[in-house]
Amino acid sequence: MCSRSAPDWKRHLEFDGISCGCYPVCLELHMGMRAVLYSLLQVIIIGAGFGLGHLFAGDQPAKLLEVFIEYKLYAHSLKMDGLLAFATYGESGEGYVYSNEDIKDSSYDPTISRVEPPSEGRLKNSIFELVRNDKFRLPVFYPDKQNLLVWCDAQGREHPVQTKADWEKRRAHIISSMEAVMGRMPGTNYKVPLDMQVHEESRLDDYTLQKITYSSEKGDRVPAYLLKPHGLSGKAPAMLCLHQTTSLGKAEPVGHGPKTNLHYAHELAKRGYVTLSPDYPNFGEYKIDVYKLGYESATIKGIWNHHRAIDLLSSLPFVDPERIGVIGHSLGGHNAMFVAVFDSRIKAVVVSCGFNSFFKYAGGNICGWSHAGYMPRIASVYNNDARLMPFDFTEVLAALAPRPVFINAPLYDDNFEVSGVRDCIIAALPVYKLYGVVDNLKVLHPACGHDFPPDVRMAAYEWLDRYLKAIGTDSTPK
């Protein structure tokens, strides 16, 4: 039986890290909404993805929330046929959610509040997401994440997955469950012009290397390396190349550092692929506090930045937007999977030493996934307990179907134990079978540790050629 997952009502949902003990005082409810308390819970949980509110129920039932007029008017400007919108107010003044306009016209003294001005954007983004979504539902919790050919209806009844349409229902639940842990994926309102800027350029033997930055959202520029092979004729295939956990960040995939097995952007560019290698938050030259920006995890910020990297590749006149893939090792491996789940423009995925089932990760101790560089809610909400996690990598892998996925899973990887990788493959194979493309899921098990050895890389590149170079030969360097 499935259930709607939700944190304990007695947990604090912190707003800007302030535990203010707010006391809700009123609520506006329009036609067509569900029960007040249920709707309220859902709005709080969904909105928490961008710091929408803080609820403290204590030992008393939650009261109703005050709706500030500015946010009510903003919500109505997006949709006129009714919704639930709210902000929070602490009676002591601490935790007061003020607007940018309040600050400009000095209608009150903002120094009495410890909530910072970014709250304005976070609230409005959350309201936008709620209106855009129109589905005020908590994620469905599936206790068994190994048997994926099951989907649950709104009443929690299980149904077999027999068609592609059935699977899309389960896949939608997987994405909601990932967002419950990572935070909400930003909406299109977060997009700004990419404004790619070239800061350095070098012409090397096989390609031109450009050190660039691009705008992922207002006020944030992501550093990256763009490699363009010489002598391209027409539009080329492209690869988003994501780095492992290394202080070198984006520089390692393009050929810097002693670990030549991880220079895959350099090697792919030599084979005729345009490659883009961005820094992950707080690696390389990209220093940023994603939590001050309102994100609930570095993971979701990374996904957003990588989604924008696909926007950038798709915009380049020498790239074929229908032939874009992603590759990564370790940190870059699971980030490759994550962005591909959220971005269907990615046509092929290569993941090296990037995942296993949470139940097999470090003997079931998943605290390594819960630090500030990943998903803190794994600790704060799900108590580092794989049994409580809304999603697992069995589901992430299956959510990539029917797209081709190449997996390097070494037999002696001390980070991602190989039997946990096999669990994921066993779980995902029936989904690929449903689509009739079992051969699109490819795995190799080299006899090595946490590495991407040359023979496996060559097999991965040849596999990519099969899927991304099969359409025409425009990408062949002359």
Per-residue pLDDT at 225 = 98
Per-residue pLDDT at 61 = 31
Per-residue pLDDT at 123 = 58
pLDDT per residue as tens digits for the range 283-318: 999 999 999 999 999 999 999 999 999 999 999 999
Residues of the chain with pLDDT under 70: 1, 3-138, 470-478
Domain spanning 189-468, CATH architecture: 3-Layer(aba) Sandwich (3.40)
Per-residue pLDDT at 325 = 98
Return the closest-CA partner of residue 409 out of 325, 337, 324, 307: 337
Per-residue pLDDT at 73 = 54
Long-range contacts (CB closer than 8 Å, 24 or more residues apart) made by 443-448: 443/406, 443/407, 443/408, 443/409, 444/406, 444/407, 444/408, 444/409, 445/409, 445/410, 445/411, 445/418, 446/408, 446/410, 446/411, 447/410, 447/411, 447/412, 448/410, 448/411, 448/412
pLDDT per residue as tens digits for the range 201-214: 999 999 999 999 99
Domain map (residue ranges) of the chain: 3-138, 189-468
